[in-house]
Amino acid sequence: MTGKDTKSIPFAASPPTFEHIVTGIDESFLWRLDDYPWERNVWNFHPEFEIHLIRQGAGVAFVGDYIGAFSATYLTVIGSDLPHDWVTMTAPGEVIKGRDIVLQFHPDRIREAMRLLPEFVQLEGFFARALRGLVFSGETLVKGAELVERMGMQKGVARLALFLQLLDLLAGSTEYEILSSPEYSPKLDAEALDVLQRALVFIYRNFSTDIRLSDVAELAGMGESAFSRFFKKNTGNTFTDHVNKLRIWQACKLLAESDMPITDICFEVGYLNISNFNRTFLRQHRMTPSAYRRLAPQRRSMRDESSSR
């Protein structure tokens, strides 16, 4: 794993940091267009809900204990205090202009409005689901992305109207996947996050090698058993599951974007034998690597069609 911009590595700049979000005095939510990377592209959490549209680029999404691939167009909703980051591999000095549009709002503002406008009560179920992170697909993705884009051209009441239309669309949709597991409940204190940061950076930089639990435990200054419990509690994944998710994510990219033989991909992403690779891939994707490769052009075509609508 070489040639990476350290700014593009999740958790590298800081552990999951508390992001202080400030909206304008005349705004009830924040709308922001971001280049990638920039200084606030880190694994972070905040009490505000976040609606996040990735307009271009591809990479790996980290939402709570979820690890998975993303590509444009990708629309997610992140609930209060759920750590998250979307990472694209970039060359040193490379900047992806306008990769992200971010909307952030505090759910308590909506709840205050419920006292006067009972129609807002229907959003409570949506807020509960979003606490684990949601990613949208189908017509919801197409229409939601359009609304997010249009907000950038509006101000005041016109922008607010589009925001409420977006909330109504997302709250009523069934075209979503829940990302983080219900068991995910990290201990978000500074000392734990500092240790976790160093461990996650090391794993991400070395998952394609013969990385061992003992190496990461030593880096964290813990025994293997203590670190294993610590890692599971604070990431929601065992060490082995976390490494396997990263390896299979990288394998999916190579299957979809290259003609590299599957056996070579197996060794490239860190597996020592093809049977273990196939078994792990099948468990995560419910299909074999060869089946995934056959479907990859179809998936790209479907994404391109959605993006062009």
- Going by pLDDT thresholds of 50, 70 and 90, the confidence category of residue 111 is confident
Least confident range from 160-174, 181-195, 205-219: namely: 181-195
Better-scored residue on pLDDT, 145 or 7: 145
> What are the C-alpha distances in Å from 19 to residues 29, 45, 56, 277?
15, 6, 24, 38
Alpha-carbon torsion angle 16, 20, 26, 32, nearest 10: -40
Residue 59, strand partner residues: 70
**H or E stretch at 100:** strand 96-105
User: Looking at residues 104-128, what average pLDDT do you find?
Assistant: 88
Q: Which domains does the chain have, with CATH numbers?
A: 6-178 (2.60.120.10), 190-300 (1.10.10.60)
Quick one: tokens of 116? 């006067």
Whether the per-residue pLDDT at 135 is higher than 90: the answer is yes
pLDDT at residue 187, rounded to an integer: 66
Whether the per-residue pLDDT at 307 is higher than 60: the answer is no
pLDDT at residue 99, rounded to an integer: 96
Mean pLDDT of the chain: 84
Residue 104, strand partner residues: 30, 50
Better-scored residue on pLDDT, 53 or 249: 53
Whether the per-residue pLDDT at 87 is higher than 90: the answer is no
> What is the distance between the alpha carbons of residues 21 and 15, in angstroms, rounded to a whole number?
18
Three-state SS for 174?
coil
pLDDT at residue 46, rounded to an integer: 82
User: Looking at residues 39-43, what average pLDDT do you find?
Assistant: 66
User: Looking at residues 242-266, what average pLDDT do you find?
Assistant: 92
> What is the distance between the alpha carbons of residues 4 and 104, in angstroms, rounded to a whole number?
29
Q: In terms of Cα–Cα distance, which of 99, 97, 123 is closest to 110? A: 123
pLDDT at residue 76, rounded to an integer: 98
Please spell the DSSP secondary structure of 70-89, one letter per residue: EESSEEEEE-TT--EEEE--
Quick one: tokens of 277? 């690779």
User: Is the four-CA dihedral 55, 56, 58, 62 of positive or negative sign?
Assistant: negative
Whether the per-residue pLDDT at 50 is higher than 70: the answer is yes
Residue count of the chain:
309
pLDDT at residue 23, rounded to an integer: 56
pLDDT at residue 296, rounded to an integer: 74
pLDDT at residue 11, rounded to an integer: 40
